[in-house]
Amino acid sequence: MNEPLRIFIGYDRQEPLTFAVLAHSLLRHASVPLTITPLTRTSLSRLYTRPRGPKEATEFSMTRFLVPFLSDYSGYSLFMDCDMVCRVDIIDVMLHVVAQPGKAVYCCQHDYTPSSTIKFNYQMQTVYPKKNWSSFVIFDNAKCTALTPAYVNTATGLDLHRFHWLENDAVIGSLPLTWNWLIGEYPKNDTAQVLHYTLGSPCFTEYRDCDHADVWWDEYVALMTPMAATAAAMVAR
């Protein structure tokens, strides 16, 4: 792999800190160059014109499906929800892609019913087949040309999140669930590569003591400590 691994992260103005913590965790463990792009509604305003629907828990609920277009329909790109922490070298996930050639997308194929009807910030929990499959997904962009801005702006949310824009489910590659371990839905797992605080990140009061909250807070401290040291040095001047 001669070019940086392209990673797109969903960005919501209600939780900017989660984006920073996830990006820091990715960079801290990376053994290859990464390009990390936040999918903000402002930066996509010329492409993404659909109004936010009542069932969209975040600002990036649908913008994630613009990733192949933003990647010029070439190479591979990874999308991640912002409420995650990566505990390993993210390039390792590409080993599963190499082992399953010819797929259009690769994701963790969860099969569960959410344990709560409410998510963070009092957002309603929506139940549907393939839920959370699209929260961590690797796109083989050349095989995802159906995801044009026009389609993303008009397709139903269920059609997008259930991958109805693909020819069939046979082109969906499977990743181990440990690459998108759902905190609060699955038991604690100290070997999970990516922790997904899908009900709410520990920065929200209701979830500050959830499973693996310590991992998130440790990453937050690692992110903020250099900034604190720099600020102290500037004050000392």
93 burial via Cβ count (<10 Å: 0-12, 13-18, 19+): buried
Report the percentage of the chain scoring pLDDT > 90.
79
Task: Give the SS3 label for residue 8.
Answer: strand
pLDDT tens string, the chain, 237 residues long: the values are 678 999 999 999 989 999 999 999 999 999 999 999 999 999 999 999 988 877 777 889 999 999 999 999 999 999 999 999 999 999 999 999 999 999 999 999 999 877 665 555 555 556 667 999 999 999 999 999 999 999 999 999 999 999 999 999 999 999 999 999 999 999 999 999 999 999 999 999 999 999 999 999 999 999 998 776 566 655 665
Instruction: Give CA–CA dist 23/217, Å, rounded.
Output: 14
Beta strand 194-196 pairing with 172-175:
unpaired
pLDDT of residue 3: 85
Domain that holds residue 58: 5-236
pLDDT tens-digit readout, 16-68 = 999 999 999 999 999 999 999 999 999 999 999 988 877 777 889 999 999 99
Number of domains in the chain: 1
Q: Which amino acid would we find at residue 63?
A: T
Instruction: Give CA–CA dist 168/57, Å, rounded.
Output: 27
* C-alpha to C-alpha distances, 193 to 26, 107, 137, 142, 179, nearest whole angstrom: 11, 14, 14, 27, 5
The CATH number given to whatever domain includes residue 97 is 3.90.550.10
pLDDT of residue 7: 98
CB atoms within 10 A of CB 170: 10
Q: Of 97, 88, 64, 112, give the one whose Cα is nearest residue 195.
A: 88
pLDDT of residue 125: 56
Q: Which two tokens stand for residue 95?
A: 């080993």
* C-alpha to C-alpha distances, 37 to 19, 25, 26, 136, nearest whole angstrom: 10, 14, 12, 15
